[in-house]
Structures are given as C-alpha cells and as structure tokens.
Amino acid sequence: MALNQPLPQGVTDLYAQDYELKQTLIDRLKQLYHVYGCQPIQTPTFEYYDLFKNIPGTMDDNQMIKLIDRDGKVLVLRPDATVPIARMASQATSDAPLLNKMYYVTNIFRMESGESDRTSRSFSQVGVEWFDDGRELNDLDMVVLAIKSLKHTGLNAIQLELGQARFFRALMSETDLDAEAEAQIQAKLEAKNEYELSDLLDELNVSQTVKQALLQLPQLFGKPGEVLKQATTLVLNSEMTKALDHLTRLVERLDELGYAEDVSIDLGLVNHLNYYTGVMFQGYIEGYGKPVIQGGRYDQLMTYFNLRTSAIGFGVYVDDLLRIVKQQQAVSLPKPTQAVVMTNDDTIKTAMKLAQQLREYNVVTTLASDQDSINQAELVINVVNQMMVINGQQETYHQLDDVFEKVGLTNGND
C-alpha cells in the first residue's frame, strides 16, 4: 500500500532549483557579511523556555513551539535568533577572542496558525548582530549593510524605512499610562488606524497636546526631508528633539553616500518597541506585501544577561526573498558545464579516470552505464574513443585532448 504522508502545516520541502536558488541567496549574503568582518556562529535548535520567557516583549508566549525535557523542564524550538545569540555572547568564555560582530544562517520556529502556507512555522533567517559601543557611525554602517543585503540579491526597487524608538518613547513619557494602555496605542499606530486611535486616546484621557502629536504619527512617513520637518512641530521635550536630530544626521549621511532613493522614514513604526531602543528599520521590495528585512538598535536586551554593551542587528527573511527573486527572476543560477561519460563493463577504468579528470576541470560529471541507445561499437573500439554528452549534446571524441578542449571552451562561459 502506498504511504501517503502529509506534511504538517506551515512547513515545506525544498529541492531542485528552488533550493539551489535559496542557497545561492544565502551564499551571497554570507559573502557580504564576511567582508564586513562578521564571524559565523550557530546556536542550538532548542533551548530552555525560561530564556525567552524572562525577556519581556520579544516573543509571544503562544507562538513558541514547546517540548518537555526528561526532567520536566520546558524546551522551545528557537523562536527568535537574537536572544540566543545575546545569551551566547554573555556566556562566551573570557579567554575566547571577544565575540562582537557575527552573522547567522538559521531556522526560526513559530506556532503560527499556518493554515495553508508553507513557511510560517519554520522559516530561514540570515542576519547580523553587532555588540558595539553604540556609536552613530555603527548605525550608519548597519543601515547601509541592510540596504546592500537586499541589493546584493539582485533586487533594486527596494525601500528601507527608518524609525526611531526614542521618539515614541519620549512622547509617551509625557503621559502616565501603564504598559497595557501603551500596547493598545501601539497596536492602533501600527495599523495606522487614526480613527480608533482617536477614540482610544479619549477613553484613556490623554492630554490634548499628546493626543494631537500621536494622531499625527500615522501620517509621518515618506520622504525624509518632509517627514522630519513636519515632525519637529510635534516636539514636546528635548528627548524628542534628540531622537529627530539623530535621524536627521543619519539620513544626511545616507544622502551623501548616494542612498537617498532607497530610504524613507516612518515615525509611526512602533512594532517591537519593548525591544528596540534607537534606530529601527525594515526593508520592502516593490511588489511584495511584507517586509523582508527587519532590525534596529536594542541596547536594553543585553542587560538581562548582565552584559554592559550596546547592540544593533537585523534579520533577512530568506524565504520571502526567495519568493520575490523567483517572481522577478532577479537571480539566474550559474549553469555549470555538464558531462555524462558513457561506459560499458570493459571501459570502466578509463571512463572513471576520464570522469575524474573532467571533474578537476570543474565539469559536473556523472557516469552512465552502457545504454541501448548508444552505439556500443564506438565505445569498445578504443579506450580513448569517448562517447560523451556535454550540455545535452551527444558527441564522440577520439582524443582525450579534444574532450578537454571542448570542455575548456565551454567551461564557466554561461
């Protein structure tokens, strides 16, 4: 009886061209992060639930995929890349060279409803984390690296949107709302739902000045110049000014470097605000409905690990990127020269040797045993009489040199 085994929801197999393309994308990103001085690292697939539970605001409890260990402790499949890396950095032995700038290629697991999609519960993320000294230069460096990450994959119509966590924080410091009320406000801001936000602010008795400022936030996005100018009219305290100044300087630098077209600003960007403490960014690709890159400065997180350091990082959603790259055919896979060496029982030794030589020339070579369609006489006449299939075309060669010449000519020319 044929076994029909369905896959669980929200996961998928990847093979053939799709997987090759994904690996190509990952390789390009790895190469990029390598030359930026990042070290590759890996953390375990599962860790203790307590690690994530004790850090507020990073992960929704219900979204973690949990397991029970032998001793009854609860484990979770890696629901986030950054927290384990922060843990690792804090536990790295002191005589190890200081781990400060690293990249990862990893799978993230989430208990999403995953009704019909293929990657909601297990998806790949490539990213960079940098435990730095909090300088503005580093903000610039990472924002540029984020832009490059997208462009490096062959996509050009990109939009990296910048926000500043401190702006909203400073604005909220004018109120005495509790965390729950703040979360409600954030949810409305995140949906740019001015109408319900207005009702909510009335309900919460927020002062008129703060209310007016908050109601402006959903529209404060777009071209940096205009947005920042408009934002200055909302400033209620010096912290807000500082946050805007920081963004202004960052944008000016990006301008100078020729990235003006690629960046915009959204001061209504308030998701994951319990986590980010400074510049935040997310990257979009034209024609794709979700952000494909997300990151920012998160200085607070490290204090949970008794580590006094700033931190900035971002993650790239590779599966989404793969979908876009396929759609837009932005990346063509290299087509290597391929050869099939045909042989019968008598010519195996020569055939194997030939195959080996071809492989040394970087030709993708496979062996095939004698087939009916091949003229056997030709194969047996002479050991150097070679029947080969190169790039789909069957040809007969009488000299090995001829084979190499042929291969040398086509090798790597695609």
Partner 1 sequence: METIKIALAKGRLADLSLELLEQIGISFSSYYEKTRKLTFISDDGHYELILVKAMDVGTYVENGAADIGVAGKDTLLEAGADVFEVIDLGFGRCEFAVAGEPGTELSAQQSLTIGTKYPKITNDYFQAQGRQVETIKLNGSVELAPLVGLSDVIVDIVETGSTLKENNLEVIETMLSISARLVVNKASFKTKGTAIRPVIDQVKSIVDEKGRVTNGN
Residue 154 in the binding site for partner 1 (CB under 8 A): no
Closest CA to 378 of 353, 399, 350, 397: 397
What phi and psi values does residue 73 have, to the nearest 5 degrees? Answer: -75, 150
Q: Is 203 or 346 the residue whose CB approaches partner 1 more closely? A: 203
Instruction: Indicate if the alpha-carbon torsion angle 229, 235, 241, 246 is positive or negative.
Output: negative
CA-to-CA dists, residue 19 to 14, 158, 217, angstroms: 5, 24, 41
Asked if 313 interacts with partner 1 (CB under 8 A), we say: no
Q: Where are the beta strands (DSSP E) in 138-202?
A: 158-164
Cβ atoms of residues 102 and 314 within 8 Å = no
Q: How far is the CB of 226 from partner 1 (least distance, A)?
A: 11
Kindly state whether residue 222 participates in binding partner 1, applying the rule CB under 8 A: yes
Using CB under 8 A, which of the segments 15-23, 167-175, 188-196, 254-262 binds partner 1?
A: 188-196
Q: Does residue 9 interact with partner 1 by CB under 8 A?
A: no
Rg over CA atoms, the chain = 28
| Min dist. Cβ of residue 291 to partner 1 (A) | 7
Residue 95 phi, psi dihedral angles, 5° rounding: -85, -5
DSSP string, 84-150: HHHHHHHHS-TTSPP--EEEEEEEEE-----SS-SSSSEEEEEEEEE-----HHHHHHHHHHHHHHH
For partner 1, which is the closer residue by CB, 15 or 195? 195
Report, in Å, the least distance between residue 363 CB and partner 1.
42
Shortest CB 328 distance to partner 1, Å: 13
Stretch that binds partner 1, among 56-64, 71-79, 287-295, 377-385 (CB under 8 A): 287-295
Task: Give every CB contact of residue 332 below 8 A, 6+ residues apart in sequence.
Answer: none
- Pattern 100-139, binding to partner 1, x per CB under 8 A? ----------------------------------------
Q: Of 40-48, 73-81, 228-236, 281-289, which segment contacts partner 1 by CB under 8 A?
A: 281-289
| Contacts to partner 1 from residues 191-220, by CB under 8 A | 191-196, 199, 218
Q: Which of 25, 85, 285, 325 is close enough to bind partner 1 by CB under 8 A?
A: 285
Among the listed residues 66, 100, 119, 50, the one whose alpha carbon sits nearest the alpha carbon of residue 304: 50
| Residue from the set 226, 252, 286, 395 that interacts with partner 1 by CB under 8 A | 286
**Are the beta carbons of 388 and 367 closer than 8 angstroms?**
no
CB of 269 to partner 1, least distance (A): 10
By rule CB under 8 A, what count of residues binds partner 1? 23
291 binds partner 1 (CB under 8 A): yes
Contact (Cβ atoms closer than 8 angstroms) between residue 79 and residue 42: no
Where along the sequence are the contacts to partner 1 (CB under 8 A)? Answer: 157, 159, 161, 191-196, 199, 218, 221-222, 264, 266, 284-291
